[in-house]
Amino acid sequence: MLPAIFGLSGPVLTDDERAFFRDCNPAGYILFGRNVETREQVRALTDDLRSLHGRDRTFICIDQEGGRVARMKPPVWLPYPAGEAFDRLYEIAPASAIEAARANAHALGLDLAEAGISVDCLPLLDVRQPGAHDVIGDRALGTEPMRVAALGRATIDGLARAGIAGVVKHMPGHGRSLVDSHKETPLVTASAEELEQDLAPFRTLKDATIGMTGHLRFTAWDAENPATLSPFVIEEIIRKAIGFDGLLLTDDLDMQALGGAVPDRAARAQAAGCDIALNCWAKMDDMVGIAKALGPMSAKTAQRLDRALAPTAAFDGPADLAEQRTLLATRDSLLKLA
């Protein structure tokens, strides 16, 4: 199995994509707005992806956070709030905020399970910092590490109740970024002592089965390389200081925070210690290049992938609308408290 996750160009697989994916056998796939049109179409697409290699448990992920980051949109799918809504509630009623975040994630997870999606790139454990770029902004669960961790754990628990695996991101923390890493490389000059605040939520949730790196340079740790490409950050900070031993994905390798050709970025990320190279934009030349540049999946990565997917389950019918309505009613009644 190739240690890569690839995007798709449209709502159905092209002949070239089908042949390429069958040949290279990637670890998984990621869906975007261009891939989702109707409930029936998305389920047919994810069934098709699973059938390529006969794996019932296939890593099929999406960025369905709520708020401004939602690939599956109304009116076909329900809207969900951004993380900031739960942060506001936590300010006055922590237990209610945790319950609301769990109910919200469970309801959202039912939509994903019905669509045949097994993994959601949620929750963000980035600690929001004043004056930072709004690339994180209202997506964050708060400015206080333990609050972020508590709401993040509730989100993972809610997704799991629907058979969906969550992804903690963006390790080792994106909350201090002064620029958008989609467009340029953020440089974080905070001291190692200050960065302990950023690490704290990830350390609390170190037993999460999947994590994602961020493309930021931290002068306290490695002034030359973004975290995704830094052996020091991945081994000494993510694996040791945080204690994370789950499946580690890169953030999208197409982002302009990284330099060089995309296949070279994938090879450098693997060499730095990332388990899986994530490439989102379905550019066939880049995907073929990545397949050539990457080494085989290690036994440790395969174990981490199996562990991450073990609790997931394909949903064989429509979402349980009665259960979903109950969950959303619980969420909304609690959010009104804020």
CB atoms within 10 A of CB 85: 21
CB atoms within 10 A of CB 323: 14
CA 208 to chain CA centroid, Å, is: 12
Distance CA 333, CA 329 (A): 6
Distance CA 77, CA 326 (A): 17
Please give the DSSP secondary-structure letter assigned to residue 59: E
Please give the DSSP secondary-structure letter assigned to residue 298: P
Distance CA 83, CA 146 (A): 15
Distance CA 18, CA 25 (A): 10
Which residues, 6 or more positions from 315, have their beta carbon under 8 angstroms from its beta carbon?
110, 113, 114, 116, 162, 163
Active-site residues: which are they? 182, 251
Which residues, 6 or more positions from 118, have their beta carbon under 8 angstroms from its beta carbon?
57, 58, 59, 60, 61, 112, 163, 164, 165, 309, 312, 314
Considering just the CA atoms, what is the radius of gyration of the chain in Å?
A: 19
